[in-house]
Structure 1
Amino acid sequence: MKLNKLLSAAAAIAAALSSLAAFPAGAEGLQGPDDVLSDGAFIYDLVDGCYTIKRCTASIVTEIPAVRNGVTINAIGDNAFANCSAISKLDIPDSVKTIGDNAFVGCTSLSEVILPERLEHLGEHAFMGCSMLETIILPETLTEIPAYAFNMCDHLKSIDIPDTVTSIGDGAFYECTSLETFRIPASLEKIGTLAFNEWYSIKDIDASANDSYVVEDGMLMDKKKAVIYRGLASIEGDLYIPDTVTTIKSGAFSGCLGISNLFVPDKTTVIDDYAFAYCPNIKKADLPQGLSSIGEWAFAFDEGLTTIEIPTTVSSIGSLAFANCINADKVLIPEGVGTIGEKAFIGCDALKSVNVTKSVTSVGEQAFGKTYDSEGNVIDLEGFTMSVFGGSAAHKYAKKAKVKYDVVGRDLSSIIFIIVVIALIIGVIAAAAVLMTKSRKSADRGAKKAKKKAEEKAAEENYEKIVETDKKKDNKKDKK
């Protein structure tokens, strides 16, 4: 035990010494161009006369040098600091213009980072999973926040975005669950899918600097109020979506715990992915005729829903759309729905039966009659039965998934085929009967003709006999 402690202590001391030696003052710590370029803290690549940090090899660093061996460090490469979980603070020099993809992904202790004022490019997933990062200031040289750049930074409370930014990528701030305030930059033109998903703490969104967006009734919308991008977490009670809205974007109300009843207007045609996910207190969702699609995870984990009524105009229900709506005991799927995605109704434990119409042409795996056990494994939902049309997609799904089902009708094409076959059989039988009848009639007529001829012949022969007898009698008389 003591030996293990000593070894651990020695390892800790060695790591500390390596961190102290991380930044030698001159070229003596940097090996030659034919070898791996390293100074004990970083491995470098020489690109176009400048150094790119390829990998951080020190356990702990607090700053990155601007120059090494008289050569400027102008880039941090892809994955350079990935999973360096011991780094808590980092100062990046102004010489750095590029931060690559996944550069700081998984730096779970990083709470403070100073970005360079001349930064021109920030890579995708750059700070993804930096769960202790609380605040960050982006320089005015940036024009884009790429996909998932700050995904899962769940301690991030504020971020300063310059007005030069025109695009926020997909999932850029996905699962920033502690974010309280957000300012829309003046030049912003594009907000990517799931960029603002699962903002459980958002209290204020300021769009006053941008002419293309407006915040009204706690909802961030485009200027025409046709698209909703995000609702505040503070929304409570009944939520009436404005009559002008046609699209509710991905993650727009995800994590809004205070919504109790939802009313969507007739003009709304699209409810996007995650739009109302993790809203456990929604008891009623009044969806309009005219709605065409319900996205993936759209109402997932909405545990308050008891009745799910799909409008007749909906053509597709996305994967996991109503997953884990554990208290939903009634689901109405009308004629007109075409596709139902994978696991669309998985974990709806109160649901004991569902009727699936013949218009449904595709049913994804584990869509019905499945739930999870305590370890997260997919299992059969006890006591569940599907009512399906014979030969339909739902019928095939039930048989393949080994879900109990009742056949309530047959596919129309099968019925038509059976009717045609029966009609052909009847036709053949009728034709045969007619032929048999004609044959009998012909045979009867032939027999009658033969009989008549025989009778005529017999009568003729009898007449000839009589004539012959009379002739004989006359001859006898003449002789006398």
Structure 2
Amino acid sequence: MKKITTLLTAIIGMALMNQVSATHVTVEVPTAGQLNSLIQDANCDSITISGNLNGNDFRFIQNNMPNLIYLNIAKVIIPDNKIPSSGLQSKTTLQQIILPDNVETIGEYAFDRCSNLKKVTFPKTLTTILTQAFSECALSGELKLPTITTHIGELAFDYNQITKAVLPDSLKTIGSEAFRGCQLLQEVVFPEKLTTIGQYAFYDCIRLHTGTLKSKTPPEIFNQTFNYTKTFYVPEGSGDVYSKSPNWSNLIVINGNTPRKVTVTLTAAGTLGEEILKQVDYVTDVNELVINGPLNDDDFYQIKQRTTHLISIDMTGATIESLPESFFYERAALLDIKLPATLKSIGRYAFYRCYGLTQITIPEGVTSIKDHSFEQCLSLKEIKLPTSLTEIQEYAFQDCKSLENIEFPANVTNISPGTFYNCTALQRVKFPANLNNISHYAFYQCSVLEKANLSEGLINIDYNAFYQCIYNHRTTKTNQKYPSVNL
């Protein structure tokens, strides 16, 4: 047994070594431009280079080292302390690089479309990152730039997998589209010396719901600098300045770190607006609202049209049975919603494009969720459905691209057309025992769906119900009744 354990340990160790590097090479280049004549194995996947490099050497690495995964050039000297423009552009094998210790500038397109580049070690000397330096790479996790970096160029980090950007206090400009399409980005603190954030700089950053600014002077932004980010925390005392500045006036600006919270208890429906105004000067001053008591159409109007700066609403104690159609339509700034305990139905398009909503609990007593209710709630990761639910109408959760799991209550017997259409993060579905029909496009393009246990009572699976899903397990019953279904 001991020999077997030792053998297994050795095999695992060798496998891990092979995963890190099959062939590592160390090369010293005394004179720039001579790398091609000094390297012994251009097919290596890992290399450490010291000495001097120029544009010719970068072109050699780019074009003549087809297997390169890891590149360490920490001890390299390059002309003008600048990574050459297009230096390693489209080097798709590269996964990790350690940049020269004294580099000051990363040139245009230097690592553009290095589509597997996950990790970069930046030197303390770096001041400037030019246009498309890391465009369409695979940089992931936290991006931490050196403390003296002053400029991030256009498209510098667009379409990467960064979750957090740590920007140095020295930073002055962020170029147009610099972080565009970074759909995993969730946290950014904008430094005090920042003067400009370019057009589309954080466009399509669907999970960046809020931002924090250190400067009391608003940096210049443009009408499309942000599209999914609606709420910004600014230093105490600077809220008015931001709110009156071009393009900032269209966003929710919270003065200091504490949102303005108002709690109201209504004794009569139709009095919400006047009760709020007993505590604040303007209804738009409210960021967090707690409502107790009866509501009517006048109150619905206040919530839909007047409380435009809400980031949180708690209606647990409110008395209504039906959430009106389009009630929270395109309220992208809302991060937290608690629904009334008395609720029976949720209207169509009720939460349409509530981009900031990450989780929600549907209260017990709700029997119906109407069509398109949660469509394009792109950050909705978790939803709890009540046991009372009997109906989910068509396309109710279409394009909920963060939703990972769903469990249907026992009383749901039909899954309507397109209910989870294009829910690309959905991995697991638990169907009720009484389910008898799955309609067309119900799980269309749920591309990572890996587990779905079908019930014995299932009568029909309509066309394209599971189109482009990766789930391939079929129960015996499914094989017998639906041999052509692509699950």
TM-score class, shorter: 0.3 to 0.5
Bigger Rg, which one: 1
TM-score (norm 2): 0.47
As a proportion of its length, which structure holds more helix? 1
